[in-house]
């Protein structure tokens, strides 16, 4: 469904309306929902979740998959990865989020942008902002992860930052073996090369993934590329 604003903006609007008119928050939420064409906020939230590209994409993932999510800056690739983590947690699975891009406070803010609160998920969500993130680090941190756990690495290129770690292709290979042996899903958020021209083709492809060192991109079972207007999901042959 198409909303007039992101759902977290609508929630803020409802809170402001509740204060301004001294009405209960649930009444304000329902009033905002009716303005969006839904009878109640609960119905709006349910329809929004069902229509989310992440919900549909999550249904296409299977244990052992490596998924690459790529887009130019500011187009929502990390939000998409976090939405997938939320989808996994909705099923009762756990999710890990390894990042050098966000602080813990910023991660909580991203959950609010997605219309939910980080505290709702308790120990089902593990976030790690360590400077030492690498394939070995991720494998050790998630060594007890149960089948169905979803792991996000934000972003692929961070694995290639330090000379003390193995080459990127060996790290991805190690994570691939880990995912397949344990029945996990690993999501890699990826930068796209600055040479990519959206005027030439609407969505990036694997050949547009920004790489400083060689990597066989056939390691990724599925890809998800974003542009300003949509999402393109593909299972790789």
Residue range 147-158, pLDDT digits in tens: 999 999 999 999
* DSSP symbols for the chain: ---SS-HHHHHHHHHHHHHHHT--HHHHHHHHHHHTT-SSHHHHHHHHHHH-HHHHHHHH--TT-EEEEE-STTSSHHHHHHHHHHHHHHTT--EEEEESS--HHHHHHHHHHTTS-GGGGGGGEEEE--TT--HHHHHHHTTTPPTT-EEEEE-GGGGGS-TTSPPHHHHHHHHHHHHHHHT-EEEEEE-B-TT--TTT-SS--GGGB--SS---GGG-SEEEEE-SS-EEEEE--
Write down the pTM of the prediction.
Answer: 0.83
Percent of the chain with pLDDT over 70: 96
Q: What is the pLDDT of residues 169-195, one digit of tens each?
A: 999 999 999 999 999 999 999 999 999
* pLDDT at position 112: 86
The domain ranges of the chain are 7-51, 53-235
Q: What is the mean pLDDT of the chain?
A: 93
pLDDT in tens, 38-85: 999 888 877 776 667 898 899 999 999 999 999 999 898 999 999 999
The CATH architecture one would assign to domain 53-235 is: 3-Layer(aba) Sandwich (3.40)
- pLDDT confidence band for 7 (50 / 70 / 90): confident
Confidence bin at 237 (pLDDT 50/70/90): low
């Amino acid at each position: 469904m198409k909303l007039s604003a992101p759902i977290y903006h609508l929630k803020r609007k409802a809170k402001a309306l509740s204060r301004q008119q001294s009405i209960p928050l649930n009444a304000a939420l329902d009033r905002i929902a009716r303005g969006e064409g839904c009878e109640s906020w609960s119905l709006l939230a349910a329809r929004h979740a069902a229509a989310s590209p992440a919900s549909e994409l999550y249904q296409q993932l299977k244990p052992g998959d490596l998924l690459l999510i790529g887009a130019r800056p500011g187009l929502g690739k990390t939000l998409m990865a976090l939405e997938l983590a939320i989808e996994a947690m909705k099923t009762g699975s756990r999710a890990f989020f390894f990042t050098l891009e966000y602080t813990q406070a910023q991660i909580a803010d991203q959950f609010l942008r997605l219309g939910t609160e980080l505290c709702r998920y308790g120990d089902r969500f593990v976030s790690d902002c360590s400077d030492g993130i690498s394939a070995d680090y991720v494998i050790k941190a998630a060594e007890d992860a149960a089948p169905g756990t979803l792991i996000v690495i934000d972003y692929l290129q961070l694995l290639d930052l330090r000379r003390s770690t193995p080459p990127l292709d060996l790290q991805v290979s190690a994570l691939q073996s880990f995912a397949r042996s344990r029945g996990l899903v690993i999501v890699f958020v990826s930068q796209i090369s600055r040479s990519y021209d959206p005027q030439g083709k609407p969505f990036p492809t694997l050949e547009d993934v920004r790489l400083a060192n060689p990597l066989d991109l056939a390691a990724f079972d599925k890809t998800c590329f974003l542009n300003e207007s949509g999402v393109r999901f593909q299972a790789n042959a």
